[in-house]
Structures are given as C-alpha cells and as structure tokens.
Structure 1
C-alpha cells in the first residue's frame, strides 16, 4: 500500500462515524483528535458553554466536530462556523448563536492588527465631505442581532446571573473591535448600524448617509450622524481617512 493510501485510511478511521471496530491504539488517536478540538472550542466559546451548561454544550460541540472535521494544521481558527451551526439548531433562540458569534469575534478582534486612533483635527482638513471615505478599525466585526445577547455575555463573563432573554422586533447591530490592545463591543441601534454597514461596505460618506436618510425620510438625522461620528472617533471605530479625499 502506498504511503498516501495508508494516510488516507488512517484519517478515515479517525473521522469515521459511528466509531468502527478498531485497535486500542486507534481508539486513543480517535479520542485525542476529538479531545483537542473540543478543548479548543471550549476555550473559544466560554460564555456559550456557561449559557448552555456542560451537557448541552459538549453535545453540540461533538455534533459540530462530526459535521465539520478540522481542515487546518492549526487549531486557532477551528470552530469559526459554530455560531451559524447553533443558529440552525436553535432557530427560536437567537441569543445562543449570537453569544457564540460574540465569543469568536472578540478573539478574532484581539488577534487583528492594531490601529492608531484618528486625530479629530484631521476632519478639519477635509475639502470634500461628500466624497470622503472613512477607514474603519481593521479589527471591526459586526452582525445584526435579534436578542440582548451582549447583556447576557457581560453577565456570564462576570459569573453574574444573566438577565431575562429579550427578543427585538427591530434589527439592532453588534460591533466588535480592538483599541489599546483590548477587544471591546457595543450594541448599535438600527439607524447607527445601517450607517456603519454602509461605511464598512466601502461607500463614501455622502452615499452612506443617503442610504440611511432614504430609509428615514421623515426624520432629520444630521445632528445624530454628527454625534455618531464623534463617538466613533473616540471609541476607535474610525481610524483613518481615504488619503485621496483629504486636502493637502
């Protein structure tokens, strides 16, 4: 048998479900493979674990591992699809998938490249506000949410009793990013999240604002947009300006 065939056979025996009849040595390998993946996911998804409890969490992790074998040498990124997986298994409990997403996003943001805060004075040099494109924090991750998962996460991370689960009729947003070597997150109301999504998609400032005001034609959001921009600068969500759009 060729070496490649031997390796494939070895891999098949490790991944096979249900467990085939194998030697004691192979049973050890099968257990070690799953234990390593389970350990990596337990470390990443600590608050989902706390929320679901030991038995349910471990059962879901086992199901995920069987459905999604590792395809990388490193365990750093294993389990990144767990939030989507849980969303499919608990469609009526959105907080579960959202907790999982937040767990993973905070780790991803921490590992992302650092970025300096943008000096607000740079805005005073803009010659064309309509055409400017804001550069968002490179660690930024965002998603729409339908529950108070961020509040649940905060309580769980402090070993406090989590609040009652709340479901939102209007879609809110959850942003995760990094400043000062620390990951952080914040919930955004629908209008602010719409604007962030437009900027993250590469729209210039005028187009992004138009996306928002088109959906809120009965309200003047000029002052609110200015307040959001100031907050983003302070928080480090906006870290730069497109150099081609600033005056010399």
Structure 2
C-alpha cells in the first residue's frame, strides 16, 4: 500500500489536484521518478514498491487493449503490440473509471504510429474491432415493425428520419478490412489477401445476442452513416448518390429492416421533428 505523507504534501505547497495529476502521469510513464511524498506502510519512501504498482497499472491497461484488439495483435505480433500499447497508455490515460471505454482512440493512434506505417490497413482493422466492442456493449432496443412504416403516405417518406439500433456502427476502409479481420480472428492460418482489390465497408451491429459484421456497398455505408447523423431518408439518399451513382435505396432499406437495424422513426417538418412511431 502506498500512502501520501500529509506533512510532505503540506511542505511542498502543491494543491491536491496538482499532486494527483503528477501521480497519474508518473504511473503511466516509466521514465518519470516516483512522486515526492509517497511512503509505504513503514512510512518510508519505496521506489521499488511504486514501480511494482506502476507496472501493474500499465500491464492492466495493455491487457485491456489486447482483449479489445485481438486481430491487430495477431497481425503485428505480441511484442510489437505490447510496445505500441505501452506508448498509447503513456499518451492516452483512461478518461473514465470504466475500462470498457478505454481504447476508443487507439485506432487513431495506430494510424499515426510511425513503426506501423508498413501495415497501412492496421488502423482500419482497429476501427472495426472497436466498433465490434461498442456494438457488443450497446443498449438493447426492439426493432420497429416494417408494416408500420409501410402505412405512411409515400409522399411523406422524404421527411422521415430513421432511428438506428443503438449498436449500429459503420466502418469504411480503402482496404479489404472485413476479409483481413475475419482471417485474423479465426484459428485458421493466415492466407494472402490482395490489398489492392478494393476497399470494404462494414455495418457492425448487435440486433439480438451476437454481434454481426456485414459488408455493405459504399453507397449503403454513406446512407446508413447519414441516418446515424440524423439525416432524413431523402437527405441520406442524396449523400449516398454523391458517393455511389448506383446506390439502390429500396435494397438498402430492405436490408436494414431485414437485419433489425431500425429501432424507430420520426417525421421532420423543416427543422422541427415530431415523434411518429416508436417500438412498443
């Protein structure tokens, strides 16, 4: 157990916040010395005791990243991943006490991590894995009945904004990210994948018990992301057609309802939104 000496704390004249900030920084940075004023049960400073505590904290955060990003770890190997994760831990301490939230920015870190530049798809794999984790822990929601939407006058459909299931996430990549991810989360030996065969985009969701990862077209990915951002069906369709002139709205809507990805909808009148239907 590590204690802060009250007399030392008073003597150095630092505020509690400053001492806590310095302590937190030292925990995650092995190059920093043990903060002043820390003593063990014998009331004596102990660098060894602090280093053990520091190592346990960093190791637990690295283990959290290992559990969240197994495909990334398999791609680069345990040693590389551990080194990369430790640098991330030092630069990105936890923002909340909920460890499920930790690693939300890991994919962005991987994308700027110079030693990983030789694996250009690695950040996108990390984004897919983070989306899987977020979908797994998302709130429950009952899907809406397609028949209720079918009862709406078709002339009003352009004003309808669909509410997606809370677990829905979209991941876009210039690389075949779904194929790479699938290969590295299975027990099978890796096989060669043509990285230049074209990008893949995925919808990740957990409508019932299991997380599902499905490939979608670029137009469908843009359409679904537009809905997630609050666009109406008409607005999201326009965005999708800008990205993909072959976008099929009927097929996209049918797939969303068939996979229970729609949790409700509302009707917008200019900037106003009035709730029309919610799952019972």
Q: Which residue of 2 aligns with 1:148?
A: 176
Going from structure 1 to structure 2, the CA distance change for 1:154 and 1:246 (only over 3 Å counts) comes to same
1:192 alignment partner, one of 220, 229, 239 = 220
Gaps of 5+ in 2: 1-8, 35-45, 268-273
1:120 alignment partner, one of 123, 135, 146 = 146
Task: Report the alpha carbon displacement of residue 50 of structure 1 after superposing the two structures with TM.
Answer: 1.3
Within 2, Cα distance between the matches of 1:133 and 1:193? 16
Q: Which residue of 1 aligns with 2:41?
A: none
Asked if residue 65 in structure 1 is aligned to residue 89 in structure 2, the reply is: yes
Q: Is the 8 A contact 1:44 1:104 kept in 2?
A: yes
Structure-to-structure mapping, 1:156-175, within 5 angstroms: 156-167=184-195, 172-175=200-203
Structure-to-structure mapping, 1:13-32, within 5 angstroms: 13-20=26-33, 23-32=47-56
Q: How many corresponding residue pairs?
A: 243
Task: Report the alpha carbon displacement of residue 11 of structure 1 after superposing the two structures with TM.
Answer: 3.4
Normalised by the length of structure 2, the TM-score is 0.77
Worse overlay, 14-23 or 58-67: 14-23
Q: Is the 8 A contact 1:126 1:245 kept in 2?
A: no
Gaps of 5+ in 1: none
Task: Report the alpha carbon displacement of residue 170 of structure 1 after superposing the two structures with TM.
Answer: 6.2
Q: Which has the larger radius of gyration?
A: 2
Going from structure 1 to structure 2, the CA distance change for 1:132 and 1:49 (only over 3 Å counts) comes to same
Within 1, Cα distance between the matches of 2:84 and 2:194? 23
Greater relative contact order: 1 or 2 (C-alpha under 8 angstroms, separation 6 or more)? 1
Q: Which residue of 2 aligns with 1:179?
A: 207
Within 1, Cα distance between the matches of 2:235 and 2:130? 31
Structure-to-structure mapping, 1:74-89, within 5 angstroms: 74-89=98-113
Q: Which residue of 1 aligns with 2:124?
A: 98
- C-alpha RMSD over aligned residues: 2.5
The one-character-per-residue Cα deviations of 1:115-147 (angstroms, maximum 9, x if unpaired) are: 212222112211211211111111112132111
Q: Secondary structure at the match of 1:134?
A: strand
Q: Which residue of 2 aligns with 1:51?
A: 75
